[in-house]
Structure 1
Amino acid sequence: MTSRHDLPAFGRRTLLRGAALATAAGVAGAALPLMAPAAFASAADPDQLFRNGRFAEAERGYRRLLRENPENAHAAAQLGYIALLSNRFDAAETFLSRAVGLDSGDVVSKRRLAECFVRQDRHDRAVPLLRQTGDQRDAAFATVFAGLRGTPWRIRGAAGTRVPFYTLDPVPSVEASVNGGKPKKFLLDTYATLDLSPQVAEEAGLRALATVAGGVVDNRPVTLYLGVLDSFRIGDIEIRNIPVQWNDVQRPPLPDGSQPAGAFGTTIFYHFLTTMDYAGRALILRRKTKSRQQRPRAHDRLPLWLAGDHYPCTVGNLGDYGPRMVTVDTGGIGHALDTTVEIAEKIGMEVDYDHPIEQPGNKVYPITADRISLGSAVAHDVHGHAADKVFPGFPGPGQSAQFGFDLIANFTHEFFKPFAITFDYTEMSLSIARG
């Protein structure tokens, strides 16, 4: 799925980003300097606390502001956003609706309220909100959501399924079937929604209900075609009546040189208790249940937040710096870490300025980190990339302009290889266990 600013490319990462409601993550915010943990821990300003990922403290501050002034639209909007990040849908709907009622021009809150409904598969409630923003992309997705006939995201089949990885590199892939066809190879990427190649879309008989601009890749504009897929089967589980997109961007080839059929990630993952078992080389999907017995044992259970519709966030450390907010993006090819030059230099990482990787309007440099960690899951002497500039979905102090909060890093493919990672979007936790 692409971000609001469309298809960012980074180093060897060429997976397509989905588009569905990434704009729901957008928020105007100033780029702030990095702050040491001791500095932001004592901050009283809820906006500052929020930008530094101190969501519980920020929420208390916004509630205080709203008690003092019930017409404080900004406080209501932020309370709704914090709730949305944690999938607390009732609170998100209450406060985002209140924010829109107080400020009818608050387009960001309308998008976030639409995203609140989309995550609950209540797309019909999202349609009028997206049509009110005046944005062509929002209107395109409203058209697609209105094209969902009957109940969307109907899940059939087994209570759970385990599908072996067809490949581990360049990123994990599994077999899945589109509209009852033969199984095909799909890349797994937590930064993806459900994306098909144009050949697979044609074979499945898909019809584009809308199109949106998908940015520029290899100096040519990309068009995203949006439609509704009747059936997507992964192992013993079938999902019916779901939004889908396709385009002609070349994806990373499979080891045999063939092109994958597409990619899928977080929008499917959050409908299940999902484990990417890197060590055991399998994708495990379990139907959601309130029982904790289904949840796998793990060394750590970290907090999980979801920004937009496809940016999983948790807290991590770069050496002794942290814990601070990071993204979890399993689709990074050939490396374990993304950060910025500013952050890398601040914490003393080795930056290889002699071998820059040229990107449109940006330069990326190889880095080596002595140690990075998510809880007690630790990797040493890891290779990564540091970018001169921040772009959508990439960590850095300027990222507050997209998400409203700062990120220090993105943890990606190579970091996860010794582990099994489980995304629990009911309890909003990220579990990591060594294989």
Structure 2
Amino acid sequence: MTPRTDDLDLPGRRAFLRRTGLTLAAGAALPLLAAAPGVAAASATPDQLFKEGRLAAAERGYLSLLRRDPRDAHVLGRLGYLALLSNRFGDAEKHLSKAVALHPGDVASTQRLAECFVRQDQFARAAPLLRGIDRPRDQALAELCAHISGTPWQIHGAQSTQVPFVTLDPVPAVEASLNGGPAGTFWLDTYATLDLSLEVAEAAGLRAVASHSGGVANNQPITLWLGVLDSFKIGNIEIRNLPVQWSDAKRPSLPDGTAAAGAFGTTIFYHFLTTMNYAGRALLLRRKTRPAPRTPVVDRLPLWLAGDHYPCTLGSLGDYGPRMVTVDTGGIASGIDTTVEIAERAGGITVDYDHPIEQAGHKIYRLTAERISLGRAVGRDVPGHAVDTLHPGYPGPGQSAMFGFDLIANFTHEFFKPFAITFDYTDMRLSITRG
């Protein structure tokens, strides 16, 4: 629930949609990969395995270390981090609580423990943890958590709802309404929480309980205001008493030239069994108690959640992989983001070096990938972008340092068009079907 502070105004992509969401635990992502090429598990330390992405082996290594020293705060923190990524809340709380008790100055474990409570809608338990962190972002989030009284995230209405996309491009958008008012159009973006325009927030009568500088959009600093929304209605489902943010960021217009009301994504999605049906041009939300429809599945992949709104899974660039990738549905005119170094290593990717685009001191190149895949879901001749170096504001590989494990790419909008993708944050699976 903290905003990213390093947005790039990238060509062919929306700046505000990428990482203007809130995340309590910056860099809280650890994959449980069983294997990664070229590393001998017998000789690698758990920390090396952790960074390489061999996290099943890393977890076994950390558990072995914990048996030798049950008071190792670093090991406890890592085990809690692993559990949080997979929404194993009991294990996450147990290990992170011990890590913080042994080392009260461990800001990362404190943030992750707070995030563990936020994901379970236990805001009152998160607030005191965040108040103990001397950072403006965490202090603002503590105020937000403290102001969410009663039962948060109350879901009313139908057992499921399907709403059509208002548009598929530049990214999908649907209609939703705030506090019983008229419907507005919201971008769908897995890299978003629930983010409103300043004008829409004011029209809905929202009151800010906290604010802070929230980073950069279109190379301009922005302010984020945090508050509590009474009602958010999507189709036949209404969500009551939920956190919301709004900002003064300049946003891209809808195809008809009108302004979007905002964007929403993973923090809404993980309260449901959510399907973004690109091919069928619709968003489907089902209560978690409702079984998924019987649809032929192209593939079913592991799903991990970094922070509160960065989905991760396994992907390949040609024959390079499977390795950890992020899933960001909000990339305009792009299906893949990576780095020049990874593109060259993977092969089968044509990078347009003759027409570099200068952005924030970095060079960004357009590319075409012959073949990329999420399991058996394959995209061919996929357009995208490569950045010259690892930059923390760039999706996918640029977030490796923030998340603590190596990423090879970000899979985004153009790749998903032939498919329907379902996010299951209970069983932690990403299912891909033909729409």
1:260-302 CA-to-partner distances (Å, cap 9, x unmatched) read 000000000000000000000000000012x655575412110
Q: CA deviation at 1:36?
A: 6.7
**Are the counterparts in 2 of residues 4 and 23 from structure 1 also a CA contact under 8 Å?**
no
1:198-236 CA-to-partner distances (Å, cap 9, x unmatched) read 111011001111111122334432111111111000000
1:28-74 CA-to-partner distances (Å, cap 9, x unmatched) read xxxxxxx9713265553111111122221111110001101111111
**Are the counterparts in 2 of residues 339 and 387 from structure 1 also a CA contact under 8 Å?**
yes
Q: Which residue identity lines up with residue 243 of structure 1 in the other structure?
A: P
Could you say which residue in structure 1 is the equivalent of 2:91? 91
- Backbone CA RMSD of aligned residues: 1.9
Unaligned runs of 5+ in 1: 28-34
Does the residue aligned with 2:239 lie in a helix, a strand or coil?
strand
% identity of equivalent residues: 67
Q: Which residue identity lines up with residue 257 of structure 1 in the other structure?
A: G
Name the CA shift for 1:353/1:171 in 2 (closer, same or farther; >3 Å): same
Name the CA shift for 1:213/1:417 in 2 (closer, same or farther; >3 Å): same
Q: Which residue identity lines up with residue 214 of structure 1 in the other structure?
A: G
Name the CA shift for 1:292/1:284 in 2 (closer, same or farther; >3 Å): closer
Q: CA deviation at 1:5?
A: 2.8
Counterpart Cα distance in 1 of 2:24 and 2:391: 14
* Aligned pairs (5 A) from 1:106-125: 106-125=106-125
Of stretches 129-138 and 43-52 in structure 1, the one that deviates more from structure 2 is 43-52
Q: Which residue identity lines up with residue 308 of structure 1 in the other structure?
A: G
Counterpart Cα distance in 1 of 2:229 and 2:352: 45
Q: CA deviation at 1:362?
A: 1.5
Name the CA shift for 1:363/1:318 in 2 (closer, same or farther; >3 Å): same
Could you say which residue in structure 1 is the equivalent of 2:387? 387
21, 25, 28: which is aligned to 2:27?
A: 25
Could you say which residue in structure 1 is the equivalent of 2:188? 188
Name the CA shift for 1:179/1:311 in 2 (closer, same or farther; >3 Å): same
Counterpart Cα distance in 2 of 1:52 and 1:234: 40
Counterpart Cα distance in 2 of 1:356 and 1:131: 44
Could you say which residue in structure 2 is the equivalent of 1:346? 345
Q: Which residue identity lines up with residue 90 of structure 1 in the other structure?
A: G
Q: CA deviation at 1:23?
A: 3.5
Of stretches 217-226 and 94-103 in structure 1, the one that deviates more from structure 2 is 217-226
Q: CA deviation at 1:114?
A: 0.3
Counterpart Cα distance in 1 of 2:256 and 2:4: 33
Tell me the TM-score normalized by structure 2: 0.94
Counterpart Cα distance in 1 of 2:216 and 2:80: 33
Of stretches 419-428 and 224-233 in structure 1, the one that deviates more from structure 2 is 224-233
Of stretches 75-84 and 393-402 in structure 1, the one that deviates more from structure 2 is 393-402
Q: CA deviation at 1:7?
A: 3.2
Name the CA shift for 1:244/1:395 in 2 (closer, same or farther; >3 Å): closer
Name the CA shift for 1:2/1:333 in 2 (closer, same or farther; >3 Å): farther
Counterpart Cα distance in 1 of 2:358 and 2:40: 35
Could you say which residue in structure 1 is the equivalent of 2:32? none
Name the CA shift for 1:192/1:398 in 2 (closer, same or farther; >3 Å): closer
**Are the counterparts in 1 of residues 175 and 186 from structure 2 also a CA contact under 8 Å?**
yes
* Aligned pairs (5 A) from 1:293-332: 294=293, 296-332=295-331
Counterpart Cα distance in 2 of 1:224 and 1:89: 29
Does the residue aligned with 1:37 lie in a helix, a strand or coil?
coil
Q: CA deviation at 1:432?
A: 0.2
Could you say which residue in structure 1 is the equivalent of 2:407? 407
State yes or no: 1:156 paired with 2:156: yes
Q: Which residue identity lines up with residue 47 of structure 1 in the other structure?
A: D
**Are the counterparts in 2 of residues 189 and 264 from structure 1 also a CA contact under 8 Å?**
yes
Could you say which residue in structure 2 is the equivalent of 1:56? 56
Does the residue aligned with 1:87 lie in a helix, a strand or coil?
coil
Does the residue aligned with 2:297 lie in a helix, a strand or coil?
coil
Does the residue aligned with 2:177 lie in a helix, a strand or coil?
strand
Q: CA deviation at 1:363?
A: 1.4
Counterpart Cα distance in 2 of 1:120 and 1:185: 28
Counterpart Cα distance in 1 of 2:24 and 2:10: 18
**Are the counterparts in 2 of residues 328 and 411 from structure 1 also a CA contact under 8 Å?**
yes
Does the residue aligned with 1:65 lie in a helix, a strand or coil?
helix
Name the CA shift for 1:12/1:2 in 2 (closer, same or farther; >3 Å): farther
Counterpart Cα distance in 1 of 2:100 and 2:9: 34
Counterpart Cα distance in 2 of 1:74 and 1:258: 50
Counterpart Cα distance in 2 of 1:173 and 1:121: 26
Name the CA shift for 1:323/1:218 in 2 (closer, same or farther; >3 Å): closer
The count of corresponding residues between Structure 1 and Structure 2 is 427
**Are the counterparts in 2 of residues 395 and 408 from structure 1 also a CA contact under 8 Å?**
no
Counterpart Cα distance in 1 of 2:42 and 2:341: 24
Q: CA deviation at 1:102?
A: 1.2
Name the CA shift for 1:2/1:170 in 2 (closer, same or farther; >3 Å): farther
Q: CA deviation at 1:361?
A: 2.2
Could you say which residue in structure 1 is the equivalent of 2:175? 175
* Aligned pairs (5 A) from 1:249-328: 249-289=249-289, 292=291, 294=293, 296-328=295-327
**Are the counterparts in 1 of residues 85 and 304 from structure 2 also a CA contact under 8 Å?**
yes
Does the residue aligned with 2:231 lie in a helix, a strand or coil?
strand
Q: Which residue identity lines up with residue 135 of structure 1 in the other structure?
A: R
Counterpart Cα distance in 1 of 2:161 and 2:299: 23
Does the residue aligned with 2:81 lie in a helix, a strand or coil?
helix
Tell me the TM-score normalized by structure 1: 0.94
Counterpart Cα distance in 1 of 2:54 and 2:65: 17
Q: Which residue identity lines up with residue 297 of structure 2 in the other structure?
A: A
1:304-356 CA-to-partner distances (Å, cap 9, x unmatched) read 00000110000000000000000000000001000011101112222111111
